[in-house]
Structure 1
């Protein structure tokens, strides 16, 4: 039986998303082709376009999914109380490590439809969680949680990006990136924890 018969309408969308994530993880977003993804899923070359419209639509769906997965992980960190912001950073770094394709696409507005309503909602939800974590800190209760969120996000995103691109080789031990980030955060002028 060929792959063409493996997928039915109920899971074609998921099959194309999974194939796209594999391609991006291995070769980057530029390597994504709807025609190639259709071949991998064993469907007609027009089938992915039916679900996503175009390549940017597919990458938008990946960005939405990534934001939703990241938000779910950040929500779990809220239970840690005063250390929630540090845990947000750790989870952000771990997300970047375990979901490199999503991470790559989420922060590349040149790749997706940045005005897509589902993406805008997902991004707002993720940003609101970060603001909540910053606002919970005593030192920001009367301060600007927006700038605190940007500062915290910048630290975590910068570390995650440097880690993923191999630019920290020789600078840190071979510990898991989340654990290294915990130690790095201690050097921040105003510690996250």
Structure 2
């Protein structure tokens, strides 16, 4: 049918997230007032957690199974996500502007390096090895996971399937409720 929307590719979905993450980093840096900076930081943190959780549930298992040196790449990505959640937890504690911005710069540097590695190395490897139908299927799973997944860092939560696939939706429900009660804007 001519009216059907084209199927989404997981790489395009993830790059779109990466672009939004970069944009939010810029908004935090440009914010002139602490309350605006904190508001954007909460939105950024929610997006980072949802994005990371979705990658852990669906992208990294695919990486592990489908590409050369997939297990080591997946393990590295999972470790970077665990480290990010620890950084986000520290960042979320607040503090004065100097503390906040120092933690922000730490998060920003780690995330941008991770994004660059994914876009320059991992995604081309995936596109070369995974059938297009599977890339479309993964896009749908990633998007669904991001809608219902956690919005707050949980550094001690499992980061590997199948346990993370069982726990993430429940953590997401609790986080979304907490966000509403706190008036926090999420992804």
- TM-score (normalizing by structure 1): 0.28
Larger RCO, structure (CA 8 Å, separation 6 or more): 2
TM-score under structure 2 length normalisation: 0.29
- Of the two, which has the highest radius of gyration? 1
